[in-house]
């Protein structure tokens, strides 16, 4: 992706993130950027620009963040349950960007169960980024790998695994830590191992 094109896609996201960070900063709540916006901010080539900005937090922190972001809210926090997902969701419109806050996220697919632990697991593994005067964090690439494997997004899985193979020392330990904290089948673990080593 050309630098100019990347800047055009990320500039509105930067503006939204600066507002979020300024509102959330005084609360002390932990949150991270994920999804396609997180991948774009890492410089990965996506087929299309992100449709929204995904933020992840533990459930208690998500409740605190929602109060801080109430001026931008377009709905109330609500529990969302689907065949493979469980979370507490809320949505915001900030600097023209649709923002989704995902709290207490759990993915269950077949015999696999992945509970997203932001403060304890993902935050220490985050990719930090400075936006304006604010320091924000992007979820570790290993999280995106596990998440996309469990939801069977092969296009994303291939893209993420390719990046991990380029910088294995940055990501392999994170993949192992996430696996050790969750209930994942031997088959899924072997598949992920194959992806990042092939």
Residue ranges and CATH numbers for the domains of the chain are 3-140 (3.30.460.40)
CA distance 74 to 86: 20
Please report the pLDDT score of residue 170 as a whole number. 86
Q: Does residue 101 contact residue 66 with C-beta atoms inside 8 Å?
A: yes
**What pTM does this model have?**
0.93
- Beta strand pairing call for 32-34 and 53-57: antiparallel
Kindly give, in sequence order, each residue whose CB lies less than 8 Å from that of residue 30, ignoring residues fewer than 6 positions away.
Answer: 57, 58, 61, 118, 119, 123
pLDDT, tens only, 106-156: 999 999 999 999 999 999 999 999 988 889 999 999 999 999 999 999 999
């Amino acid at each position: 992706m050309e630098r100019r094109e990347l800047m055009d896609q990320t500039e509105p996201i930067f503006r939204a993130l600066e507002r979020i960070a300024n509102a959330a900063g005084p609360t002390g709540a932990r949150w991270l950027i994920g999804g396609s916006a997180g991948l774009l901010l890492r410089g990965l080539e996506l087929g299309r620009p992100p449709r929204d900005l995904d933020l992840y937090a533990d459930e208690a922190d998500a409740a605190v963040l929602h109060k801080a972001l109430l001026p931008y809210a377009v709905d109330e926090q609500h529990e969302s349950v689907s065949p493979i997902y469980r979370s507490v969701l809320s949505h915001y419109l900030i600097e023209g960007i649709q923002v989704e806050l995902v709290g207490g996220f759990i993915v269950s697919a077949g015999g696999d169960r992945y509970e997203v632990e932001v403060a304890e697991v993902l935050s220490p593994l985050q990719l930090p980024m400075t936006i304006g005067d604010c320091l924000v964090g992007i979820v570790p690439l290993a999280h995106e790998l596990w998440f996309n494997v469990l939801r069977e997004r092969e296009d994303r899985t291939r893209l993420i695994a390719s990046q991990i193979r380029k910088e294995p020392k940055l990501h392999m330990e994170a993949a192992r830590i996430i696996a050790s904290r969750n209930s994942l089948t031997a088959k899924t673990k072997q598949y992920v191992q194959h992806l990042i080593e092939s």
